Amino acid sequence: MARWPSRPARALVFGADYNPEQWPRSVWREDMALMRQAGVNLINLGIFSWAQVQPTADTFDWDWLDEIVDLLHDNGIAVDLGTGTSSPPPWLTTLHPEILPVTADGRTLSPGGRQHWRPSSPVFRRYALDHVRTVASRYAEHPALVLWHVNNELGCHNVDDFSDDAALAFRSWLQDRYGDLEALNFAWGTAFWSQRYSAWEQILPPRRAANFPNPTQQLDYKRFSSWELQDYLRAEVAVLRSVTPDIPVTTNFMVMGNGVNGMDYPAWAGEVDLVSNDHYLIGARPDAYEELCFSANLTRGIAGGGPWFLMEHSTSAVNWQPVNPPKSPGQLQRDSLTHVAYGSDAVSFFQWRASIAGAEKYHSAMVPHAGPDSQLFRDVCALGSDVAALAEVLGTLAISSQVAMVFDWTSWWASELDSHPSNLLRYREVALAWHHAFHTAGIGVDVQPLAADLSPYAMVVAPLLHVVDAATRDRLTDYVEGGGHLVTTFFSGIVDGNDHVHLGGYPGALRELLGVRVEELGPLLPGVEIALSGGGTASTWAERISLVDARPVLTYADGTAAVTRRTVGSGSASYVGALLDPASHQRVLGELSLLAGVAASGESSVVRRVRGDGERQFVFLINESTDPCSASIEPGVDLLTGRQVSGTIELEPFAVAVIRLS
Ligand code: GAL
């Protein structure tokens, strides 16, 4: 359960990253007035301030930071203070260029951007932890301080480091994991291609090689790289807790990664007092909003049901995608409150005021370049009022659905390794397709890490669960034998934790549970489509399934099984052996859900999520679309309008209603 900041008391957080070091003091006064006008109650400060606070190795400039912390406090605004270690200052990289990260092909990255540090550099760690201790000691007693913000998006630009420091740390991690070289040689399958190691010193990170690097070495390197950053997080947290044991600590995750998937966040969650997440819409995705819902849903799962903290999202455009259009009218409220619907107790942005210089000057903010006399700032103020109106939601949990979807970093990493049957499979895309199918059917689903307790769920979908060891197989078997309904897909159960193939036919470790056997994997060349009976097609992947102890749910046009189901007592285990077109996917999901006794609301354009605490229930209804729609609702009060509602509620495009049930 999250340890939440003591302030704002009895209100959801409304705030932003604030970078006053980019502005003259005259602007700070205006900022305070505007923050109060917008309803801002917590600010993330000092996220990138290392060089400002410590201009040289031996000098500190606290005046500006002292002043702004005081100013925020005087204005009733709490502070989430950054440790500032994300971007090492130029004096440090000049003094110690050996902290700079190295790419897989041996290029050392230059300073000049941010996050130019090796997670495994002892030198970086020494300087950074000294800095953390100094900052923590200076503000330990300041009444504005309510939360620590470790670094920033740990790993965003530096999770994959192939330096000599990384090589040393990797070896030591491997020694802990395997104990002796024999065990490593077995796990990595080094009998293949003459890769056998006879001394630890021979082992390297999977740097650019003449051909595919060893897959288990690659998988272990992913595990190591995540662990190394987690260890760094732990080190900063330890310093902060030693100085201020009563102040909660967080660090902002990026659960959907936007191209970076190196951090195994379910494993990290236990290091922090509360889980926080950053999310940015990917403008070019037609299903950008679905991806937002998925991200919020997964964060909820990682946070053990919530509450969690939306640390960053954008009021409008970002600056780092190829084309960055602004948000449409209404979208700001829809996007922000969707995170709240999924359990966030904070609505926080990057950033407060749009910069005039630097790489992010075209990124939106709460105060845009146009200034406060702008539609965007008026929308921000309106959102601030909405967030204030939702105060009573604080601390309630996002209530569980009947269905869980498993999302697992190890399978994400392993299923996308090179030298595979197809490089067209994308773990996250397959997961998103399932989430979308549930959404379209109006079936609530919770995204959960593999380690979560799945037993309360009527149905569990584990798409592309590629890595299945004996313990996972047994857990899933117990779930089904206990009456649960499991659904998994092609390329699941194929390998164990060493990335070794389970013999005897696919889907390997899950073959018996599913009651099917597949002799050849089913990648399809681009453009190839396999017809399904009753219309629709499979593409990218389609397997020939032999039924051992299962019946077909959907067949290919030639009558052979594409989707199967095995009943096990009152439970079942279903296998989807092909990547189905959306309509067929929908059909199959409808049938499997019905058989599992899972109810569908049929409301495809309304996101319906419930938060509650055993006594009170808050129903969030979100019209995701640009068309008006209606939704059914039990009697209650819409917290955003104060109106009594009952029966049916009309929702304008992108509109949100939050009903406290009577
Ligand atoms: C995040 C980062 C912020 C800012 C933002 C822009 O990844 O934490 O500092 O760069 O992106 O979208």
The tens digit of pLDDT for each residue in 324-355 reads 999 999 999 999 999 999 999 999 999 999 99
pLDDT reading at 573 higher than 80: yes
Q: Is 253 in the pocket of ligand 1 (CB under 6 A)?
A: no
Which atom in ligand 1 lies closest to the alpha carbon of residue 153?
8
Q: What is the mean pLDDT of residues 452-471?
A: 98
**How much distance in Å is there from the Cα of 348 to the middle of ligand 1?**
12
Q: Is 360 in the pocket of ligand 1 (CB under 6 A)?
A: yes
Which atom in ligand 1 lies closest to the alpha carbon of residue 252?
8
Left if phi > 0, otherwise alpha if psi is -120 to 50, otherwise beta: which for 357? beta
Q: How confident is the model at residue 1 (pLDDT cuts 50, 70, 90)?
A: low
Q: Is 278 in the pocket of ligand 1 (CB under 6 A)?
A: yes
Q: Is 291 in the pocket of ligand 1 (CB under 6 A)?
A: no
Q: How confident is the model at residue 600 (pLDDT cuts 50, 70, 90)?
A: confident
**How much distance in Å is there from the Cα of 72 to the middle of ligand 1?**
22
Q: Is 351 in the pocket of ligand 1 (CB under 6 A)?
A: no
pLDDT reading at 88 higher than 90: yes
d(CA 267, CA 275): 12
User: Which active-site residues does the annotation give?
Assistant: 153, 312
Q: Is 61 in the pocket of ligand 1 (CB under 6 A)?
A: no
The set of long-range contacts for 638-646, using a CB threshold of 8 Å and a minimum separation of 24, is 639/389, 639/390, 639/392, 639/393, 640/386, 640/389, 640/390
pLDDT reading at 75 higher than 80: yes
Which pLDDT does position 390 carry in this prediction? 98
pTM of the model: 0.98
Q: Is 350 in the pocket of ligand 1 (CB under 6 A)?
A: yes
pLDDT one-digit tens code per residue, 212-248: 999 999 999 999 999 999 999 999 999 999 999 999 9
Mean pLDDT score of the chain: 97
Least-confidence region, from 55-59, 251-255, 349-353, 600-604:
600-604
Which pLDDT does position 602 carry in this prediction? 77
**How much distance in Å is there from the Cα of 518 to the middle of ligand 1?**
45
**How much distance in Å is there from the Cα of 494 to the middle of ligand 1?**
37
**How much distance in Å is there from the Cα of 350 to the middle of ligand 1?**
6
- Whole-angstrom distance between the N-terminal and C-terminal Cα of the chain? 27
The set of long-range contacts for 205-211, using a CB threshold of 8 Å and a minimum separation of 24, is 205/104, 205/162, 205/166, 205/167, 205/170, 206/104, 206/162, 207/104, 207/105, 207/106, 207/162, 208/104, 208/105, 208/106
| C-beta separation of 538 from 581 below 8 A | yes
Q: The tokens 């056998």 sit on which residue?
A: 196
d(CA 57, CA 499): 46
d(CA 182, CA 369): 61
**How much distance in Å is there from the Cα of 482 to the middle of ligand 1?**
44
Which pLDDT does position 601 carry in this prediction? 81
- From the number of C-beta atoms within 10 Å of its C-beta (0-12, 13-18, 19+), residue 26 rates as exposed
Left if phi > 0, otherwise alpha if psi is -120 to 50, otherwise beta: which for 379? alpha
pLDDT reading at 429 higher than 70: yes
Which pLDDT does position 457 carry in this prediction? 97
**How much distance in Å is there from the Cα of 84 to the middle of ligand 1?**
14
From 19, 263, 350, the mutation candidate for ligand 1 (largest count of ligand atoms within 8 A of CB) is 350
Query: Who wins on pLDDT, 27 or 398?
Result: 27
Q: What is the mean pLDDT of residues 282-291?
A: 94
Q: What is the mean pLDDT of residues 401-414?
A: 98
**How much distance in Å is there from the Cα of 318 to the middle of ligand 1?**
9
From 360, 364, 366, the mutation candidate for ligand 1 (largest count of ligand atoms within 8 A of CB) is 360
pLDDT reading at 104 higher than 80: yes
Which atom in ligand 1 lies closest to the alpha carbon of residue 258?
7
pLDDT one-digit tens code per residue, 508-526: 999 999 999 999 999 999 9
Q: Is 154 in the pocket of ligand 1 (CB under 6 A)?
A: no
**How much distance in Å is there from the Cα of 150 to the middle of ligand 1?**
14
Q: Is 496 in the pocket of ligand 1 (CB under 6 A)?
A: no
| Nearest CA owner, ligand 1 atom 3 | 350
pLDDT reading at 605 higher than 90: no
Which atom in ligand 1 lies closest to the alpha carbon of residue 314?
12
Q: Is 312 in the pocket of ligand 1 (CB under 6 A)?
A: yes
| Nearest CA owner, ligand 1 atom 12 | 318
Q: How confident is the model at residue 491 (pLDDT cuts 50, 70, 90)?
A: very high
d(CA 447, CA 460): 10
Helix (H) or strand (E) holding 568: strand 561-568
pLDDT reading at 148 higher than 80: yes
Which pLDDT does position 258 carry in this prediction? 74
Q: Is 280 in the pocket of ligand 1 (CB under 6 A)?
A: yes
From 159, 312, 324, 361, the mutation candidate for ligand 1 (largest count of ligand atoms within 8 A of CB) is 312
Proportion of the chain above pLDDT 70, given as a percent: 100
Which atom in ligand 1 lies closest to the alpha carbon of residue 254?
7
d(CA 653, CA 662): 26
**How much distance in Å is there from the Cα of 575 to the middle of ligand 1?**
39
**How much distance in Å is there from the Cα of 252 to the middle of ligand 1?**
10
| Nearest CA owner, ligand 1 atom 7 | 153
Residues across the chain: 662
d(CA 378, CA 176): 56
| Nearest CA owner, ligand 1 atom 4 | 350
d(CA 363, CA 327): 12
| Nearest CA owner, ligand 1 atom 2 | 153
From 19, 45, 278, the mutation candidate for ligand 1 (largest count of ligand atoms within 8 A of CB) is 278
Which atom in ligand 1 lies closest to the alpha carbon of residue 152?
8
List strand residue ranges (DSSP E) for 204-326, in order.
249-250, 252-253, 276-278, 308-312
pLDDT reading at 381 higher than 90: yes
Q: To the nearest 10°, the Cα dihedral for 542, 546, 550, 553? A: 30
| C-beta separation of 206 from 213 below 8 A | yes
Q: Is 18 in the pocket of ligand 1 (CB under 6 A)?
A: no
**How much distance in Å is there from the Cα of 498 to the middle of ligand 1?**
35
Residue 81 phi/psi, 5-degree rounding, is: -95, 125
Which atom in ligand 1 lies closest to the alpha carbon of residue 48?
9
Q: Is 153 in the pocket of ligand 1 (CB under 6 A)?
A: yes
pLDDT reading at 257 higher than 90: no
Asked, as a colleague might, if the bond just before 307 is cis with ω within 30 of 0, I would say yes
| Sign of the alpha-carbon dihedral angle for 155, 159, 163, 169 | positive
